[in-house]
């Protein structure tokens, strides 16, 4: 079911500062900021040869990232994203096995314009898992 690792997401209190650190200090290619109001975040992607690192900053007062940063003021790893061929089939298989899909269980459009779902961290060794259809 799982394909390749798509990205590792890191919540940050200052998106511009994090992007500049990776761009200027590490010499990485960093995308332009992208606001995702449906998810309550603004993101940038650090492009690597075989995957990406996503930086997340809260967008709006109801942002789930704001609560994460309240517990982790310096930021930290927020989730890991894996690719799947068929997100609905993956969701149905996971739910049948007892995994909890967050939200209403329906895929939403993610930062790459593709369907995504999030899985409860308590079902996956304490890690929030995002699935993205490729």
Answer yes or no: are the C-beta atoms of 31 and 52 closer than 8 Å.
no
* Given the residues 47, 57, 61, 130, the one annotated as active site: 130
130 is a catalytic site residue = yes
Nearest to 76 by CA among 4, 8, 3: 8
Give the HSE-up count for residue 22: Cα atoms under 13 Å, Cβ half-sphere. Answer: 20
Give the residue numbers annotated as catalytic, written as ranges: 130
């Amino acid at each position: 079911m799982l394909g390749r690792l798509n990205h590792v997401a890191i919540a940050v209190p200052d998106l511009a500062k994090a992007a500049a650190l990776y761009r200027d200090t590490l010499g990485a290619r960093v995308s332009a900021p992208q606001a995702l109001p449906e998810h309550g975040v603004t993101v940038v992607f650090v492009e690597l040869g075989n995957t990406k690192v996503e930086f997340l900053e809260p967008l709006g007062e109801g942002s789930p990232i704001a609560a994460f940063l309240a517990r982790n003021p310096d930021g930290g790893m927020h989730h890991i994203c894996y690719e799947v061929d068929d997100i609905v089939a993956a969701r149905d298989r996971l739910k049948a096995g007892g995994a909890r899909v967050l939200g209403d269980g329906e895929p939403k459009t993610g930062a790459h314009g593709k369907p995504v779902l999030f899985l409860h961290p308590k079902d996956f060794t304490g890690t929030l898992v995002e699935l993205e259809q490729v």
